[in-house]
Amino acid sequence: MSLEPALRRQLVALLGADWVRDDQVTRFSYRCDGLTLHPSLPAGVVFPGDHDQVVGVVKLLHAAGVSFLPRGAGTGLSGGAVPTTGAVIIELVRLNRIGPVNEIDRTIEVGPGVVNIQVSHAARAHGLYFVPDPSSQKACSVGGNVAENSGGPHTLKYGVTVNHILALDVVLPDGSAHRVGGESWASPGADLLALLIGSEGTLCIVTNIICRLTPLPPAVQTLLAVFNDVQQACEAVSAIIRAGIVPAALEMIDNTVIRAIEQTISAGFPTDAEAVLIIELEDIEAGITDELAAVRRILGQVGTHEIRVAEDEAARARIWRARKEAFGAIGALSPSFYTQDGVIPRGALPRVLARVNQIGRDHGLTIANVFHAGDGNLHPLILYDAHDPDQVAATHEVGRRILELCLAEGGTLSGEHGIGLEKNSLMDRVYSSTTLDHMAEVRAVFNPNARLNPGKMLPEPGKCGDIKSVAALRAKSGIQV
């Protein structure tokens, strides 16, 4: 079903014919985002070029009673930008203006279509950078980061997206426009920014963002700690934190991922290691020496096999390239993989990681692990063959069991990928029906008819608790990653 002709004419009159697409190729291209489990064709895709055009488009769609949703780079992994059938996608890629850096306020104003890494590139000359750095930062948009409250390796010390945004210009589903937050670091009243950031495109469409920038660290030391035992690596993570040291990043990569990395980009990681930790310390020169010595001492105490310190920026860049491209490297080992995202208390890491791998073995599947160990944010990658229906079904079962394990340990469903379509049927495992009803009431304040991005984050009526049937439906849909 493409756009209704009268609506199409109105949209073309507003945006121009080039920016209103409902041909088969475009609709097929926008049937899913990074989560391909639930493909669904939109009625069309529109490409507004500025804030006023977004307002105009939303007003037209609102008047026509059509569902719609915003989309950035489409790199999300929880299906937040997957349309329900017949919905219109508002693609924000043209809102890509990067404002000047305000060195005194440490801010930069950007459009939601700006690619994450471009913000730090623009700020670098001023000795500043934008902290949130998801693995997809070369492709993902800042608008997407805001919608999902994205994290990344460097959020252990500095926080996730919500900690680095000062203001948003937003459009509500009725077309009304609002500025939330401002140039100052605090506003009176309840924290609206915190509510809107991470709302997965279900409360508003963001058209402009004031990002808070952070001074570049004067000195950085990046270590690669090599372990012959995964449990030792987990113990090292806890020991470092217990010693009162909060590294800028503390990332773990297991043997399966190390082998994939070496097959693809040859970062020089030891392929016989069971796990490596990437530990990044940041401070002034006079402070980093003490911290480095303390970390070395702790690593020695837990039985680290080898410690490599990046001697220059090129060596550091090699380590981070390996970490950031690890997901892609998995393609060298498996035709398909499913990226899970769960959080546990950091102290539970050793037993949970062992249990995760056992769950995979129970179902005959390999699980690779590359994750934010310092935050307790797991990313088990379940390797499978999409052409084997049994493996597809097993993949869903493994994913569900991993999430249930996270919840049993006092953790939660998502640390940075969001709930979207992927996990909304599991929300009643986390929150009471009273709390979920309350969240629905909050959504109704902004999005009373649920016309904006329907079916995301909150469970659909009748689906909560029906995990088995959801898994069966997902299995039938086929996974194509």
Partner 1 sequence: MSDARVFAPADTGSLLAWLRAGYAAKRPFWIAGQGDPHPDPAALQLDLSAFNQTLFFDPDDMVVGVGVGKKHLALQKELAAEGMGLPVNPWFDDDTVGSLVAKNRFGPERLYRGGVRDWVIGMTYATVDGRLIEVGGRVVKNVTGYDLARFMVGNRGELAVLLSVNFKLMPLPHQPEALLFRGPAEAWPRAVAALIKAHIPLDWAQVRLAAGTVRLGVGISGGTARRRSLKVSLEETTGAAWSAPEQSPDESLFHRLADGPALAGLTGAAPVHAYGRLATSVLLQQENYRQDCQVIHPIGADIHRFVANPSVLSANEPEAGVSWVLEQAPPDCAIRRLPAKTPEAVLHQKLKASFDPCGCLPSHFHGG
Site for partner 1 in 319-378 (CB under 8 A): 343-347, 372, 375-377
Geometric angle at alpha carbon 232, from 231 and 233, rounded to 5°:
90
Rule CB under 8 A: choose which of 85, 97, 185, 476 binds partner 1. Answer: 185
Q: What is the CA radius of gyration of the chain?
A: 23
**β pairing state of 44-46 and 88-91:** parallel
- Quote the least distance from Cβ 477 to partner 1, whole Å: 23
According to the binding rule CB under 8 A, does residue 125 interact with partner 1?
A: no
**Interface residues for partner 1 in 281-310 (CB under 8 A)?**
283-287, 289-290
| For partner 1, the closer CB: 305 or 429 | 429
| For partner 1, the closer CB: 24 or 184 | 184
According to the binding rule CB under 8 A, does residue 245 interact with partner 1?
A: yes
**Interface residues for partner 1 in 66-105 (CB under 8 A)?**
102-105
Enumerate helices (H) and strands (E) in the chain, giving the number of each: 16, 20
By residue count, the chain amounts to 481
- Quote the least distance from Cβ 107 to partner 1, whole Å: 8
Angstrom distance (rounded) from CA 78 to CA 83: 12
Rule CB under 8 A: choose which of 10, 75, 145, 199 binds partner 1. Answer: 199
**What burial class does residue 346 get, using C-beta atoms within 10 Å of its C-beta: 0-12 exposed, 13-18 middle, 19+ buried?**
buried
| For partner 1, the closer CB: 40 or 214 | 214
- Quote the least distance from Cβ 422 to partner 1, whole Å: 12
Angstrom distance (rounded) from CA 20 to CA 285: 54
| For partner 1, the closer CB: 42 or 198 | 198
Angstrom distance (rounded) from CA 365 to CA 405: 17
**Interface residues for partner 1 in 390-429 (CB under 8 A)?**
410-419, 423, 427
| For partner 1, the closer CB: 119 or 240 | 240
| For partner 1, the closer CB: 315 or 431 | 431
Angstrom distance (rounded) from CA 255 to CA 260: 9
Rule CB under 8 A: choose which of 39, 49, 86, 127 binds partner 1. Answer: 127
Reading the block at residue 54, the tokens are 């977004």
Rule CB under 8 A: choose which of 48, 198, 399, 455 binds partner 1. Answer: 198
**Interface residues for partner 1 in 218-237 (CB under 8 A)?**
218
Binding region for partner 1 (CB under 8 A) out of 20-28, 45-53, 59-67, 243-251: 243-251
**β pairing state of 275-283 and 205-212:** unpaired
Q: Which residues are within 8 A (CB) of 303 and not within 5 positions of it... i.e. 6 or more apart?
A: 227, 229, 232
The answer to whether the beta carbons of residues 204 and 196 sit under 8 Å apart is yes
**Interface residues for partner 1 in 136-155 (CB under 8 A)?**
148-149, 151, 155
**Interface residues for partner 1 in 44-63 (CB under 8 A)?**
none
DSSP letters for 39-63:
----SEEE---SHHHHHHHHHHHHH
Angstrom distance (rounded) from CA 444 to CA 436: 12
- Quote the least distance from Cβ 98 to partner 1, whole Å: 19
470: helix, strand or coil? helix
Residue 269 one-letter amino acid? F
| For partner 1, the closer CB: 68 or 129 | 129
| Residue 296 C-beta-side C-alpha neighbours within 13 Å | 11
- Quote the least distance from Cβ 438 to partner 1, whole Å: 5
**β pairing state of 88-91 and 68-71:** parallel
**Interface residues for partner 1 in 431-470 (CB under 8 A)?**
431-432, 434-436, 438-439, 441-446, 457-458
- Quote the least distance from Cβ 384 to partner 1, whole Å: 25
- Quote the least distance from Cβ 184 to partner 1, whole Å: 4
| For partner 1, the closer CB: 328 or 347 | 347
According to the binding rule CB under 8 A, does residue 238 interact with partner 1?
A: yes
According to the binding rule CB under 8 A, does residue 183 interact with partner 1?
A: yes
Closest CA to 480 of 383, 334, 364, 337: 337
